[in-house]
């Protein structure tokens, strides 16, 4: 029997125009990692990505990214091959928590000169480069949805939200992009 | 809409990212099962609900997710400080308290005035 | 002399104004086609076409004209439309720009503007004193519903709200800046120019289409030797291209909130004839500024004298604006009545433009000699120390009566327009909204900003700084200070040299001559709500001594203009009647919004699909294709039932229950809250949060858990599976998921931070497919790998990890129906495919999809509670008969002490029981009250109420649950449920109606 087919609510959506493009990110491995600082350092070594300890910062290496979410919480994003969880579950006696949230979250990439204007239609944060520079990340709100926002480049953002909020988030972004 | 300084994110963030969580520095008794009715009442039901300086809990629920404490003047809505959960209740200086006072009552004085009306006006251009 | 421009109105003065005569637009007013120039407001266009009469007043239906040239306008409220759906009532003609094809209609008149039957109220005016409604409609009481209220409702309100849905869209923008400057007049521009140089982020907003403020209508002043227009244009050009500067035109700052949050509304397409459909009609800006500079200017007041409301009477500054900004004269033989120098400049400008000035009446005895000299040079008839004591002209003023202020002797002077000025009221609205305190400036009769609470500063006329040279210096200094406070390095910008600036000296607040305490004239204070000087005095005499009470009793300042012109007059007259000083009486509180804001702008993106979040499960498309009917559970759409052809809800639900019990049913339980509890202290934490004991729950086993609050009342419940020694898969109710996680985090973070356990919401990681019924195992077995589904291996209340359809699963053997059942968790993106694979297997075996209603029925047949339906926050585990879930040997859990409170262990508590109606086919209403004696005299003591009630197809009779005082001890008793048309008898019974032995779940 064939394996069950994967269906994401953002499949096949696309938006472009008015200085902003929206695109679904596609399947990724996502792990919510909870650990104290000492353990996190060791886990970062194992992963090959130094986990960030500066609030609101993201570190990427070798296709994997660790986003600082809280003082003992990281969102790890990598290719859809389970390598993060495999690596972390082979780290021996360390005390920490990983939970697979690859399907809980889905994400949109927002690119273009108007990306901050579109995001600021629903996100109350200051997204200027001074306040939210490249490699910043944060859990925050967008309209009525909770999101994780990560600035990959000056004009490229990665916006994560829970699966059932993604239709709302996408439509809100597209509505804002109409008039950006 | 308030700006709240999150002691974990080390930044001021918009109120939309936070949820209030009631009065601060009410510890759950370690011998919970054995406390008296009076102690339970005090722990669970009685709150200061001050007009003025309040010690309160917030959760950065749409941010780092941490609970923390804040000192705020509930009239002026100005914060003196925020600090991490578990830290001691801070002693406030007079200067800190003064810095968050609402302005002293000047005009407009919105108090009702209980004076008999007069009919001779002096503002009229006669 | 005036030369008429036939294309854009007969009152257009050639060579005057800033509009291009080449660009004309066509619009209609009360169906009459008219021409205007591009850039005209509706008010300037109407005046250009010789129209002053634009509406009827609210109460007396008096003919009213255009009074102002700005946002303070109380009279000229017009219904504006593009098409039937795009229609807006109560638009101020003085701010709405004319666009090609605009349809404008006057309001509050019947049958026409010039002949209005409601005007009878004016004749009967003496019968409509302050508080008229309160006094008149008191009796007889019966007349209120049938007579008074319908009449008042018909008469109330100004325009008619549109009936069609708003087809436009709106936008929102959160913005941040270092310095927000509100008001783009001379002071605001100077501040912006200074702040912009620093490189810090600056936003400058102005409500008008062009920056300049009062400069736009000032053609006398010279700034660095340039005209006001040239200086303004140059200043804007200098800063507009800068990356750090945002200029917002047609944008009103309407609300000032805590911590320097200011709300703006930008009118994006309101002035366009053919707006791009992708443009929002309006955009809301929520600006967080480090520093705010308020340069909101001042608003001219009218004068309070008899019949001061006739069409053709307007503010002097408005007359000047119409002439100098729009090239329109408001009349051809104009009277001026003033207590302030600024109106003299208006007179001079009009005279120089060739307009006849009939007389310049100033109520002051002492006048600046320079003004007198210029008046004389222009040949103006000046009547100083005089007052206007009445006017004539029904639909347009045609004469004024002038008297000496201190003496007798009336002079009637024919005029076609009267321009008046009572001086200037600083616009402290936003300052006041910021919770700043104002102080009264006795010498100039005005309230000024005094104590600041936010990081803001007022400059220019709103700060009482009337001299332009001082205002510019003040603005530049404030901008430097603001940049410094925002952490920048200010750069000095030299303010321009000012020559020939006009003066704003002189004022009168309160009633002018002829409108004093002993006069019975209609001297209006508040034009929009038809409040006169007499009304204020009457209110005070009748005992309303607080200005807040006077305001509400007379309704002064309560119209859509919020008393921008009238407040100071009302206050002065109240103070005078009370024999008090103005500061003792106080000012009413200013509140947002400064000017009316559309609901559309406030709602912005949150309409239609975006009104609220609609959460759909991974299997939603499948259930939709099957014709499911949905119910809203929080933000979720949950399949409620799956009607087949010809079935109503009752039939569908009965079939779904029956089929599930006889064969199998498939149910989407994805919305259940799920929390992964992980760490070496996970068991300890579960012991704290739930009433149950968890130590002995083996890996691979499940348990139904009850969670209380500290007060001992049930907070949530759900099945918990132990995946490993240190990992629990906790389920919560659908609606309870966020608050349960929040409460858990609270205990963990603030009471037991040293515990090594972490919580992650996995509600949406897993799609949950419930397969229930005798054939459930047979259906899923071939799809599952790595899990032995046999009854012996996977007993009821077990969990195992393996694969289904090739993808990972956490497979629970559990039941909320009382049948053998499984809840198959798969990663959400696989939910629909796995569901379809199970359906493909199950359909030939007679399986049905079932919805939440059938789920509710089947769980009620088993007596399983639903938290929030059978419990309401006052129900303990004992009350709900689930106290078996409390670990009796536990020394602590949340609620352990609360449960011992005297009232919670007292006899006779309201307890959950089953109810069986004596007539099997009667289904009780949920929420219905339960009594012991239906014949008891009223009030009948209530002993409880129905919490759940359904028709049970499987049992062939209705079933219900309810809470009843002492219910657990009353099995077999008969109680009564009185309904509108009958009294229903029911027997108290065990709530487990179906399979009370519970054998079926183990099949």
Domains of chain C and CATH, by start: 6-132 (3.10.20.440), 172-298+426-499 (3.50.50.60), 302-419 (3.50.50.60), 508-597 (1.10.10), 668-859 (3.30.1360.120), 907-1002 (2.40.30.110)
Sign of CA dihedral C85, C91, C93, C94: negative
Within-domain flag for A10: no
Looking at the predicted structure, is the pLDDT value of residue B122 above 80? no
CB contact under 8 A, C760 and A101: yes
Within-domain flag for B111: no
Q: Would you call C589 an interface residue with chain B, using a CB distance cutoff of 8 Å?
A: yes
Looking at the predicted structure, is the pLDDT value of residue C558 above 90? no
**How far apart are alpha carbons C867 and C860 in whole angstroms?**
12
CA distance A82 to chain C (A): 12
User: Taking CB atoms and an 8 Å cut-off, how many pairs form between chains B and C?
Assistant: 164
CB contact under 8 A, C615 and A175: no
Domains identified in chain B, total number: 1
**How far apart are alpha carbons C309 and C190 in whole angstroms?**
37
Q: What is the pLDDT of residues C21-55, one digit of tens each?
A: 889 999 999 999 999 999 999 999 999 999 999 99
Nearest by CB to A71, from B11, B62, B64: name it.
B64
CB contact under 8 A, A55 and B14: no
Q: What is the pLDDT of residues C460-511, one digit of tens each?
A: 999 999 999 999 999 999 999 999 999 999 999 999 999 999 999 999 999 9
Mutate to test the interface with A, among C172, C612, C745 (most CBs of A within 10 A): C172
Domain extent, residue B84, equals 3-99
Neighbours of C425 (CB within 10 A): 25
CB contact under 8 A, A176 and C171: yes
Top-confidence range, A89-103, B54-68, C531-545: B54-68
pLDDT (average), residues C961-976:
98
Helices C468-485 & C186-197, crossing angle to 10 degrees?
Answer: 30
* Binding partners of C (≥3 Cβ pairs within 8 A): A, B
Both tokens assigned to A80: 């859809």
DSSP designation for C6:
G
Give Cα A153 distance to the centre of its chain.
Answer: 14
Which residue in C has a C-alpha nearest to residue A131's C-alpha?
A: C176
**How far apart are alpha carbons A29 and C90 in whole angstroms?**
56
Q: What is the pLDDT of residues A52-91, one digit of tens each?
A: 999 999 999 999 999 999 999 999 999 999 999 999 999 8
Give Cα C669 distance to the centre of its chain.
Answer: 36
* Strand C784-785 relative to strand C798-804, pairing: antiparallel
Which residue in B has a C-alpha nearest to residue A161's C-alpha?
A: B62
Structure confidence at residue C352 (pLDDT): 97
CB contact under 8 A, C610 and A172: yes
CB contact under 8 A, A141 and B10: no
Q: Would you call B76 an interface residue with chain C, using a CB distance cutoff of 8 Å?
A: yes
CB contact under 8 A, B63 and A140: yes
Within-domain flag for A124: yes
> Any idea which of B12-26, C10-24, C408-422 has the lowest mean pLDDT?
C10-24
Structure confidence at residue C213 (pLDDT): 96
Let me know: does C546 contact B114? Beta carbons within 8 Å. no
Both tokens assigned to B123: 């503002």
Residue C801 or A180, more confident: C801
Q: What is the pLDDT of residues C577-598, one digit of tens each?
A: 999 999 888 888 889 999 999 9
- Residue C848, strand partner residues: C665
pLDDT (average), residues C864-893:
96
CB contact under 8 A, B118 and C579: yes
**How far apart are alpha carbons C745 and C721 in whole angstroms?**
20
CB interface of C with A, residues 210-269, below 8 Å: 268
CA distance A158 to chain C (A): 19
CB contact under 8 A, B64 and A146: no
Structure confidence at residue C132 (pLDDT): 66
CB contact under 8 A, B10 and A55: yes
Q: What is the pLDDT of residues C598-652, one digit of tens each?
A: 999 999 999 999 999 999 999 999 999 999 999 999 999 999 999 999 999 999 9
Q: Would you call C540 an interface residue with chain B, using a CB distance cutoff of 8 Å?
A: yes
Let me know: does C175 contact C148? Beta carbons within 8 Å. no
**How far apart are alpha carbons C332 and C350 in whole angstroms?**
9
Q: Would you call B11 an interface residue with chain C, using a CB distance cutoff of 8 Å?
A: no
**How far apart are alpha carbons C78 and C92 in whole angstroms?**
6
Nearest by Cα to C728 from C686, C689, C761: C686
Structure confidence at residue B105 (pLDDT): 59
Task: Quote the pTM value.
Answer: 0.94
Looking at the predicted structure, is the pLDDT value of residue C4 above 60? no
User: Taking CB atoms and an 8 Å cut-off, how many pairs form between chains A and C?
Assistant: 147
Token pair 């960030």 is found at A52
Nearest by Cα to C928 from C982, C890, C850: C982
Structure confidence at residue B118 (pLDDT): 34
Structure confidence at residue C585 (pLDDT): 87
**How far apart are alpha carbons B75 and C81 in whole angstroms?**
44
Within-domain flag for A46: yes
CB contact under 8 A, B121 and C745: no
Q: Would you call C450 an interface residue with chain B, using a CB distance cutoff of 8 Å?
A: yes
Structure confidence at residue C469 (pLDDT): 96
Residues belonging to chain C: 1003
CB contact under 8 A, B77 and C258: yes
CA distance C726 to chain A (A): 10
Give Cα C845 distance to the centre of its chain.
Answer: 54
Looking at the predicted structure, is the pLDDT value of residue C989 above 90? yes
Nearest by Cα to C830 from B103, A46, A6: A6
Q: Would you call B65 an interface residue with chain A, using a CB distance cutoff of 8 Å?
A: yes
Structure confidence at residue C139 (pLDDT): 62
Q: Would you call B64 an interface residue with chain A, using a CB distance cutoff of 8 Å?
A: yes
pLDDT (average), residues B96-122:
54
Helices C342-352 & C369-378, crossing angle to 10 degrees?
Answer: 20
CB contact under 8 A, A131 and C828: no
What is the DSSP secondary-structure string of C293-308? EE---EEE---B-TTT
Both tokens assigned to C582: 């103005």
What is the DSSP secondary-structure string of C764-789? TTEEEEEEESTTHHHHHGGGEES---
**How far apart are alpha carbons C869 and C860 in whole angstroms?**
11
Helix (H) or strand (E) holding C583: helix C582-585
Both tokens assigned to C872: 């309401």
Side-chain-side CA neighbours of residue C937 (13 Å)? 0
Which residue in C has a C-alpha nearest to residue B60's C-alpha?
A: C742
Q: What letters, b where the CB count within 10 A reaches 16 and e where it falls short, cover C190-199?
A: bbbbbbbbbb
Q: Would you call B5 an interface residue with chain A, using a CB distance cutoff of 8 Å?
A: no
**How far apart are alpha carbons C606 and C600 in whole angstroms?**
9
Which residue in C has a C-alpha nearest to residue B110's C-alpha?
A: C586
Confidence of residue B125 (pLDDT cuts 50, 70, 90): very low
CA distance A26 to chain C (A): 11
CB contact under 8 A, A56 and B9: yes
* Binding partners of A (≥3 Cβ pairs within 8 A): B, C
Q: What is the pLDDT of residues C154-183, one digit of tens each?
A: 666 678 888 899 999 999 999 999 999 999
Calculate what percentage of chain C has a pLDDT beyond 70: 95
Mutate to test the interface with C, among B63, B107, B112 (most CBs of C within 10 A): B107
Which residue in C has a C-alpha nearest to residue A123's C-alpha?
A: C174
Confidence of residue C3 (pLDDT cuts 50, 70, 90): very low
Which residue in C has a C-alpha nearest to residue A34's C-alpha?
A: C758
Which residue in B has a C-alpha nearest to residue C711's C-alpha?
A: B44
pLDDT (average), residues C372-400:
97
Structure confidence at residue C837 (pLDDT): 98
Mean pLDDT, rounded, of chain A: 96
Confidence of residue C774 (pLDDT cuts 50, 70, 90): very high
CB interface of B with C, residues 14-73, below 8 Å: 14, 19, 21, 27-28, 32-35, 37, 40, 43-44, 57, 59, 61, 65-67
Domains identified in chain A, total number: 1
Nearest by CB to B66, from C258, C749, C751: name it.
C749
* Strand B67-73 relative to strand B53-59, pairing: antiparallel
Q: Which residues of C touch A99 (CB under 8 A)?
A: 676, 678, 760, 762, 765
Nearest by Cα to A100 from C805, C729, B62, C814: C729
Structure confidence at residue C156 (pLDDT): 60
CB contact under 8 A, B121 and C576: yes
Looking at the predicted structure, is the pLDDT value of residue B113 above 60? no
CB contact under 8 A, C511 and B103: no
Give CA separation, C872 vs C216, C629, C862, C869, C947, in Å: 64, 27, 20, 7, 10
Looking at the predicted structure, is the pLDDT value of residue C5 above 50? no
Mutate to test the interface with A, among B5, B14, B68, B87 (most CBs of A within 10 A): B14
**How far apart are alpha carbons C788 and C769 in whole angstroms?**
18
**How far apart are alpha carbons C576 and B119 in whole angstroms?**
8
Structure confidence at residue A93 (pLDDT): 81
CA distance A4 to chain B (A): 34
Looking at the predicted structure, is the pLDDT value of residue C418 above 70? yes
Q: Would you call B86 an interface residue with chain C, using a CB distance cutoff of 8 Å?
A: yes
φ, ψ dihedrals at C415, nearest 5°: -145, 165
Within-domain flag for B7: yes
Looking at the predicted structure, is the pLDDT value of residue C148 above 90? no
SS (H, E, C) C350-416: HHHCCCEEEEEEECCCCCCHHHHHHHHHHCCCEEECEEEEEEECCCCCCEEEEEECCCCCCEEEECC
Neighbours of C644 (CB within 10 A): 12
Within-domain flag for B86: yes
Mutate to test the interface with A, among C173, C244, C279 (most CBs of A within 10 A): C173
Within-domain flag for B121: no
Q: Would you call C176 an interface residue with chain A, using a CB distance cutoff of 8 Å?
A: yes
Mean pLDDT, rounded, of chain C: 94
Domain extent, residue A33, equals 18-178
Both tokens assigned to C532: 């006169």
What is the DSSP secondary-structure string of chain A? -PPPPP--TTTT--EEETTEEEEE----EEEEEE--HHHHHHHHHHHTSPPP-STTBEEEETTEEEEEEETTEEEEEE-TTSHHHHHHTTSTT---EEEE-TTTEEEEEEESTTHHHHHTTT--S--STTTS-TTBEEEEEETTEEEEEEEEETTEEEEEEEGGGHHHHHHHHHHHHHT-
**How far apart are alpha carbons C380 and C348 in whole angstroms?**
9
What is the DSSP secondary-structure string of B31-99? TGGG--HHHHHHHHT-----SSEEEEEEE-TTTT--EEEEEEETTT--EEEEEETTSPPPPPPHHHHHH
Structure confidence at residue C154 (pLDDT): 60
CB contact under 8 A, C517 and B119: yes
Q: Which residues of B touch C436 (CB under 8 A)?
A: 103
CATH number assigned to the domain comprising residue A61: 3.30.1360.120
Cβ neighbourhood burial of B124 (10 Å; 0-12, 13-18, 19+): buried
Looking at the predicted structure, is the pLDDT value of residue B117 above 70? no
């Amino acid at each position: 029997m064939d394996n069950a087919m994967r269906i994401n609510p953002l499949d096949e959506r696309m938006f472009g125009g008015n200085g902003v493009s929206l695109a679904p990110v596609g399947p990724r491995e996502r792990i919510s990692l909870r650990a104290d600082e000492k353990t996190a350092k060791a886990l970062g070594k194992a992963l090959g990505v130094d986990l960030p300890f500066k609030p609101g910062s993201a570190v990427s290496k070798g296709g994997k990214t660790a986003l600082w979410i809280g003082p003992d919480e990281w969102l790890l994003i990598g290719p859809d091959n389970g390598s993060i969880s495999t690596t972390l579950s082979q780290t021996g006696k360390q005390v920490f928590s990983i939970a697979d949230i690859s399907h809980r979250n889905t994400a949109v990439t927002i690119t273009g000169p108007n990306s901050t204007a579109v995001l600021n239609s629903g996100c109350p944060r200051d997204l200027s480069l001074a306040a939210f520079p490249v490699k910043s990340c944060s859990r925050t709100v967008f309209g009525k949805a909770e999101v994780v926002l990560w600035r990959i480049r000056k004009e490229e953002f990665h916006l994560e939200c829970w699966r059932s909020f993604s239709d709302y988030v996408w439509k809100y972004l597209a509505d804002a992009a109409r008039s950006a | 809409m308030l700006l709240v300084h999150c002691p974990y994110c080390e930044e001021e963030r918009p109120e939309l990212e936070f949820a209030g969580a009631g009065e601060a520095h009410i510890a759950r008794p370690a011998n919970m099962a054995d406390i008296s009715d009076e102690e339970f009442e005090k722990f669970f039901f009685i709150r200061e609900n001050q007009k003025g300086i309040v010690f309160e809990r917030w959760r950065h629920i749409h941010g780092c997710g941490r609970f923390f404490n804040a000192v705020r003047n509930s009239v002026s809505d100005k914060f003196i400080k925020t600090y991490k959960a578990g830290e001691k209740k801070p002693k406030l200086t007079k200067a800190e308290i003064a810095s968050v006072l609402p302005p002293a009552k000047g005009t407009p004085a919105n108090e009702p005035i209980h004076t008999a009306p007069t009919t001779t006006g002096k503002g009229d251009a006669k | 002399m005036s030369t008429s421009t036939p294309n854009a109105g007969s009152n257009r003065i050639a060579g005057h104004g800033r509009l291009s005569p080449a660009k004309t637009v066509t619009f209609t007013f009360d169906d009459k086609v008219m021409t205007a120039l591009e850039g005209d407001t509706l008010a300037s266009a109407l005046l250009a076409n010789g129209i002053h009469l634009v509406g009827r007043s609210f109460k007396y239906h008096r003919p009213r004209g255009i009074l102002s040239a700005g946002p303070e306008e109380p009279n000229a409220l017009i219904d504006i439309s593009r098409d039937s759906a795009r229609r807006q009532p109560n638009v101020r003609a003085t701010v709405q720009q004319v666009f090609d094809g605009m349809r404008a209609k006057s309001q509050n008149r019947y049958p026409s503007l010039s002949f209005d039957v409601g005007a009878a109220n004016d004749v009967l005016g003496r019968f409509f004193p302050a508080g008229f409604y309160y006094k008149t409609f008191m009796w007889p009481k019966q007349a209120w519903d049938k007579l008074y209220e319908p009449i008042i409702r018909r008469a109330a309100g100004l325009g008619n709200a549109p009936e069609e849905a708003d087809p436009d869209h709106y936008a929102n923008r959160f913005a941040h800046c270092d310095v927000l400057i509100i008001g783009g007049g001379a002071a605001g521009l100077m501040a912006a120019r200074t702040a912009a140089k620093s490189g810090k982020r600056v936003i400058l907003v102005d409500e008008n289409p062009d920056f300049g403020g009062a400069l736009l209508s000032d053609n006398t002043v010279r700034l660095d030797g340039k005209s006001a227009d040239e200086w303004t244009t140059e200043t804007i050009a200098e800063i507009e291209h800068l990356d750090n500067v945002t200029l917002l035109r047609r944008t009103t700052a309407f609300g000032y909130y805590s911590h320097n949050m200011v709300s703006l509304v930008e009118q994006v397409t309101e002035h366009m004839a053919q707006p791009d459909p992708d443009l929002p009609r309006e955009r809301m800006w929520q600006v967080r500024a480090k520093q705010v500079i308020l340069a909101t200017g001042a608003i001219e007041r009218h004068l309070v004298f008899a019949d001061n409301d006739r069409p053709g009477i307007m503010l002097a500054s408005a007359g000047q604006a119409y002439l100098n900004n729009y090239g329109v004269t408001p009349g051809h033989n104009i009277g001026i009545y003033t207590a302030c120098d600024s109106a003299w400049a208006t007179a001079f400008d009009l005279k120089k433009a060739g307009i006849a000035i009939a007389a310049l009446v100033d109520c002051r005895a002492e006048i600046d000699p320079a003004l007198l000299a210029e008046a004389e040079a222009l040949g103006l008839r000046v009547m100083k120390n005089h007052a206007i004591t009445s006017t004539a002209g029904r639909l347009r003023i045609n004469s004024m009566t002038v008297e000496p202020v201190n003496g007798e002797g009336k002079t009637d002077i024919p005029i076609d327009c009267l321009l008046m000025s009572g001086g200037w009221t600083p616009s402290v609205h936003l300052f006041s909204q910021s919770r700043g305190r104002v102080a009264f400036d006795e010498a100039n009769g005005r309230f000024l900003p005094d104590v600041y609470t936010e990081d803001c500063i007022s400059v220019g006329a709103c700060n009482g700084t009337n001299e332009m040279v001082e205002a510019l210096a003040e603005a530049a200094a404030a901008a430097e200070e603001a940049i410094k406070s925002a952490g920048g390095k200010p750069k000095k910008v030299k303010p321009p040299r000012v020559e020939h600036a006009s003066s704003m000296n002189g004022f009168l607040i309160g009633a002018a001559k002829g409108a004093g305490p002993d006069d019975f004239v209609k001297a209006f204070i508040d034009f929009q709500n038809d409040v006169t000087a007499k009304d204020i005095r009457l209110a005070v005499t009748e005992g309303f001594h607080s200005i807040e009470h006077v305001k509400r009793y007379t309704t002064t300042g309560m119209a859509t203009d919020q008393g921008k012109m009238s407040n100071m007059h009302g206050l002065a007259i109240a103070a005078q009647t009370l024999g008090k000083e103005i500061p003792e009486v106080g000012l009413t509180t200013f509140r947002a919004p400064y000017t009316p804001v559309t609901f559309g702008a406030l709602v912005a993106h949150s309409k239609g699909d975006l009104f609220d979040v609609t959460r759909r499960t991974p299997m939603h498309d499948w259930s939709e294709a099957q014709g499911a009917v949905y119910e809203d559970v929080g933000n979720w759409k949950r399949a409620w039932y799956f009607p087949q052809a010809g079935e109503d809800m009752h039939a569908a639900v009965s079939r779904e229950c029956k089929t599930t019990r006889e064969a199998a049913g498939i149910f989407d339980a994805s919305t259940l809250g799920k929390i992964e509890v992980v760490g070496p202290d996970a068991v300890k934490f579960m012991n704290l949060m739930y009433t149950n004991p968890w130590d002995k729950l083996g890996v691979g086993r499940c348990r139904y858990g009850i969670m209380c609050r500290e007060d001992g009342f049930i907070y949530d419940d759900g099945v918990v599976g132990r995946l490993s020694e240190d990992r629990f898969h906790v389920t919560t109710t659908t609606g309870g998921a966020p608050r349960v996680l929040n409460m858990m985090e609270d205990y963990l973070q603030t009471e037991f931070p040293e515990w090594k356990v972490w919580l992650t919401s996995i509600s949406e990681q897993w799609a949950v497919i419930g397969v229930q019924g005798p054939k459930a195992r047979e259906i899923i077995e071939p799809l599952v790998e790595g899990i032995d589904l046999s009854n012996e291996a996977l007993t009821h209340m077990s969990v195992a990890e393996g694969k289904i359809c090739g993808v990972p699963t956490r497979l629970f053997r559990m039941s909320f129906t009382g049948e053998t059942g499984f809840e198959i968790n798969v990663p959400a993106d696989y939910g629909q495919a796995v569901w379809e694979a199970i359906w493909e297997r199950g359909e030939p075996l007679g399986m049905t999809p079932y919805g939440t209603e059938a789920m509710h029925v089947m769980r009620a047949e088993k007596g399983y509670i639903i938290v929030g339906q059978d419990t309401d926050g006052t129900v303990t585990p004992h009350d709900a008969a689930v106290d078996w879930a409390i670990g009796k040997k536990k020394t602590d859990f949340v609620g352990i002490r609360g449960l011992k409170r005297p009232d919670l262990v007292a006899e006779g508590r309201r307890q959950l029981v089953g109810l069986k109606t004596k007539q099997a086919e009667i289904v009780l209403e949920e929420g219905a009250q339960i009594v012991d004696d239906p014949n008891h005299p009223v009030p009948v003591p209530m002993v409880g109420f129905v919490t759940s009630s359904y028709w049970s197809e499987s049992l062939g009779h209705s079933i219900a649950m309810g809470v009843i005082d002492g219910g657990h001890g009353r099995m077999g008793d008969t109680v009564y449920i009185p309904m509108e048309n009958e009294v229903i008898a029911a027997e108290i019974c065990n709530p487990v109606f179906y399979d009370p032995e519970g054998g079926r779940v183990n099949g």
